[in-house]
Each structure stands twice: as C-alpha cells, then as structure tokens.
Amino acid sequence: MKLLNNNNNSRYGKPSFCYKYFKWLLWFSLSFYFFASFLFNHKPNNSTSSFISKTTVHQYSNKVSRALIESVSLKHHQDSLNGLKIYIYELPSRYNTDWLSNERCSNHLFASEVAIHRALLKSDVRTFDPYEADFFLIPVYVSCNFSKVNGFPAIGHARKLISSAIELISLQFPYWNRSLGSDHVFVASHDFGSCFHTLEDVAMADGVPEFLRNSIILQTFGVKYDHPCQRAEHVVIPPYVSPEGVRKTLATSDVNGRRDIFAFFRGKMEVHPKNVSGRYYSKKVRTVILQKYGNDRRFYLRRHRFAGYQSEILRSTFCLCPLGWAPWSPRLVESVVLGCVPVIIANGIDLPFSSAVPWSEISLTVPEKDVGKLGSILEHVASTNLSTLQQKLWDPRITRALMFHDRTVDGDATWQVLHALSQKLKRSHRRSRVFSE
Ligand SMILES: *[C@@H]1O[C@H](CO)[C@@H](O)[C@H](O)[C@H]1NC(C)=O
Ligand SMILES: *[C@@H]1O[C@H](CO)[C@@H](O)[C@H](O)[C@H]1NC(C)=O
Ligand SMILES: *[C@@H]1O[C@H](CO)[C@@H](O)[C@H](O)[C@H]1NC(C)=O
Ligand SMILES: *[C@@H]1O[C@H](CO)[C@@H](O)[C@H](O)[C@H]1NC(C)=O
C-alpha cells in the first residue's frame, strides 16, 4: 500500500539522472559479477565447453571477463594486501559443512561465517603450506543450530564447539601453541560477537571466552566505547545479505527509480516493551517510533514479517535502522545496496569498513534521545542535502564493500576483511621471523 500518492510527494519522488538508473546499473553490475564468476568457476576445456563454445563473441567476452577478474584480483592481492597468506584448517565436517544441510545456514543474517570461509577457500591468499601463512582461519559455523521453537539460531553450543576445535588443532599442529592463538582468526557474526549470548547483560557478564582472547575475531558487533564483547583484537564486518537475493529484488521489482515512501521501517516494534532483567528491547526507541509516527502519513511502519520487504526498501527515501537488542542490523546493508538513505539510531555504533565506506556521507545518525524528533530531522535533510547523500550512496564501490560473494572480488566484503588483516601483520609469526633475521 502506498501511503503517499504521486501528487503530494514530488519533493521526495523526483529522481536525479543517476538515481533513475540506479536500479539498472546495480542490476547490471551484479549480473555481470554473477556471469563472470560463473564462467570463472566453470573453466571450460575443449571437451566440456558446451556452455560457451557456441559463438566467438561469447568466447571473446568470456576471455575478457576472466582476464578482468584474474588481473584485478592478482594485482590487488599483491599490491594492497602486502602478500598476505592464510592457512585454513580442514576440520571434521561436524564443525562446519554438516550444518549446511539447512539451507538457511548460508543465507541468514549471520551467514558471514559461511561466506568468508567459502570465499577464502577459493582465494589467492589461501596457502596450503602453514609455514608460509601469516594467519590461520578456524572455520567453525556456530549460528546454524536453528531453534525448533522460534527458528532463531541457538548459540548455546558455540563455546563448546569452538573450544573443541581449538583443542583438536592444538594437538595436531604446533601453530596454536606457538602464538597462543594470536595469529588465528574466527568469525563471530551474531548479536554480541564472541560473547555468544543474545542478551547484552548476560553477554557482558560472560565476556569473550578465555580461549579466544588472544585471537582475531571478525564480528558484526562493534561500538565505539569500551565493551566486554570486543575485548579481543577484532574487525567489524557487515551482516550477511545475500547478493543473489538483492539481485532478485532488483530484477523483479517494478520500480522506476521513484521513491514514493518517505520513511520506512518494518520489524519488531513493541507497544509495551517488557522488562527483561532491567533492559527494554531497542531501549524503547522502536516503541517511540511507533507511538509518535504510527499514524503519520510520511512514515510507512510495519510490525510483521514480509518476505518482499526489500522491494519496500527500494521504494523508500529514508530507511530507519534503529537498534534492537544489539546496535547493528542487516537493514544497514540492505538500505545502502538498495539506495535508501540509512537513518542509524544506535548510540556509539561502530560501523564496518569505515576506510571503504564513507558512512557520514551516505547515512544519517540520529541520537537515541532524539528519536521523537525524527520527522523534523528527516524533513530538514530532505529539503537541504538529500540529493548529495543519494548521489554518494549510488557509488557501486560502497555496495561492493558491504556484500560477501562466494568468490571474492576486489573491494568486496571478504576483500575488506583481508585488507584489515593485512594491517595486522605484526601478529604474523612468519613476518616476525623474517624481520628478526
Ligand atoms: C542445538 O541447540 C539445542 C538447544 O536449542 C541444544 O539442545 C542442542 O544440543 C544443540 N545442538 C548441537 C549439535 O549442539
Ligand atoms: C599444545 O599445548 C597443549 C596444552 O599445553 C598440549 O596438550 C599439546 O600437546 C600441545 N600441542 C603440541 C602440538 O605440542
Ligand atoms: C526491571 O527488572 C529489574 C530486575 O529484573 C528490576 O530491578 C527493575 O526495577 C525493573 N525496572 C522497572 C522499571 O520495573
Ligand atoms: C546533511 O545534513 C545533516 C543535517 O543538517 C547533517 O547532519 C549532515 O552532516 C549532512 N550530510 C551531508 C553528507 O552533507
């Protein structure tokens, strides 16, 4: 249902030139990426090249796209990543791939633990020689034990699963003991990172388990103040949003670049939030949004799940990203990649990959205490610098930096992780040995 009709929304609805073609450019670049990576993953040889050998034109474009990807990735891996090398432990399948029998495991918001593993397996930075490695990835998937009651990931088993993986590799290999884990890398993609609990007070009380405190944690959780759940070397990463899902949204939505929704939010908003051991969901921010703007025609607010919500984001000018239990949410990524200005309402949040994503130029930050003034804040931006924000948001490099692909392309989210690791090479045992000689 459209809350604003075509006549009264001309201010928000009039697209700029870039903006009008945003969808098509994005669709094209994603399609190109999928096409190129398909070719790249299915290297034709003469006996099996039925897919490509039909015309010389296809052969030519195949060569061009492969050459493009190969040269680009080679160049970056050598130049910007300082020759970074990663060894990936091959753990028994109960630690990781067994969980993939549930299809959600590789698609839900915590799926970066799967995506990063997959991308690194196929990446140029992977080494099979542990003596050549700067870092060691321990690929344990802890977020795919979906509760039979509510469908949410039950992460109660996470500590046990990870510590048993560490035990296994520290018995079989010398590398963990050598550095006490400081050159070992884990992904902890759920609410409060390696604290492994969905409630912040419990997570804070439990803290990062002893056995992970020396290591490098890739985590979606990040705040700019001291917090027990980031007391380990860490890299803030974006939540997982399926590139295939985004591509489908772009291909199937009948939008023409016009954004007829002024401000959008779909998600849990409690009318009477419960006191959960002294804390309230979203610190009541979402409740205020509902109370204050529930009947405001500029705001399109929905409390129930809807599978097609990405098409609503595509129709929206501003997308609200209020905190839930944790400050981060996949809305941040979905808003950016679908061209809706994210309105971040989560005090102190530390956003991913700030060296690649100029967050202050593409999003708005509203202090939690000002959530009641959202209407006038957004009106002010709409009448002043909205088009500046939208134009910056359109930069395809930003979209690329926030999404994980099965095969990493330069500048994508896995590449950003590698780049961050390449800044931590002083933790590499191999480098310290080379330098001291
Ligand atoms: C999955 O979570 C449930 C609790 O929801 C737990 O009882 C079960 O042991 C977990 N499964 C594994 C393999 O750890
Ligand atoms: C690493 O240390 C643990 C605990 O001290 C020990 O049990 C294990 O044998 C050591 N691993 C190797 C490969 O020496
Ligand atoms: C919320 O619950 C905690 C205990 O769980 C209690 O100490 C606190 O007084 C409660 N707050 C309110 C406003 O009821
Ligand atoms: C847009 O305007 C808002 C409110 O005046 C300001 O906080 C923000 O920094 C501006 N952003 C850009 C990219 O100019």
State what percent of residues in the chain have pLDDT above 70. 81
Q: Is 361 in the pocket of ligand 4 (CB under 6 A)?
A: yes
Predicted confidence at residue 11, as pLDDT, reads 35
The C-alpha angle with vertex 341 and arms to 242 and 315, in degrees rounded to 5, equals: 70
Once rounded to an integer, what is the mean pLDDT over residues 403-409?
Answer: 94
Q: With 60 as the cut, is the pLDDT of residue 260 above it? A: yes
Q: Is 376 in the pocket of ligand 4 (CB under 6 A)?
A: no
Spatial CA neighbour of 405 closest among 199, 214, 246: 246
Least confident of 48-62, 254-268, 294-308, 389-403: 48-62
Predicted confidence at residue 36, as pLDDT, reads 47
Taking the CA of residue 277 as reference, the ligand 3 atom at the shortest distance is 5
Strands 316-322 and 216-219: unpaired
Q: For residue 150, what pLDDT band results from cuts at 50, 70 and 90?
A: confident
State what percent of residues in the chain have pLDDT above 90. 76
Instruction: Report CA(411)–ligand 1 centroid distance (Å).
Output: 37
- Ligand 3 atom 6: residue of nearest CA: 278
CA distances (Å), origin 305, targets 72, 181, 269, 301, 332: 40, 41, 12, 12, 17
The neighbouring-strand residues paired with 349 are 223
Predicted confidence at residue 29, as pLDDT, reads 58
Q: Is 388 in the pocket of ligand 4 (CB under 6 A)?
A: yes
pLDDT, the chain, mean: 85
Q: Give residue ranges with CB within 6 A of ligand 3.
A: 275, 277-278
Predicted confidence at residue 27, as pLDDT, reads 58
Residue 126 is classified by DSSP as B
Q: pLDDT of 20-67, one tens digit each?
A: 555 555 555 555 554 444 444 443 333 333 332 222 233 323 333 333
Predicted confidence at residue 434, as pLDDT, reads 65
Centre a 10 Å sphere on the Cβ of residue 59 and count the other Cβ atoms it contains.
14
Are 157 and 165 in contact by the 8 Å Cβ rule? The answer is no
Instruction: Report CA(317)–ligand 1 centroid distance (Å).
Output: 41
Predicted confidence at residue 80, as pLDDT, reads 80
Once rounded to an integer, what is the mean pLDDT over residues 405-425?
Answer: 96
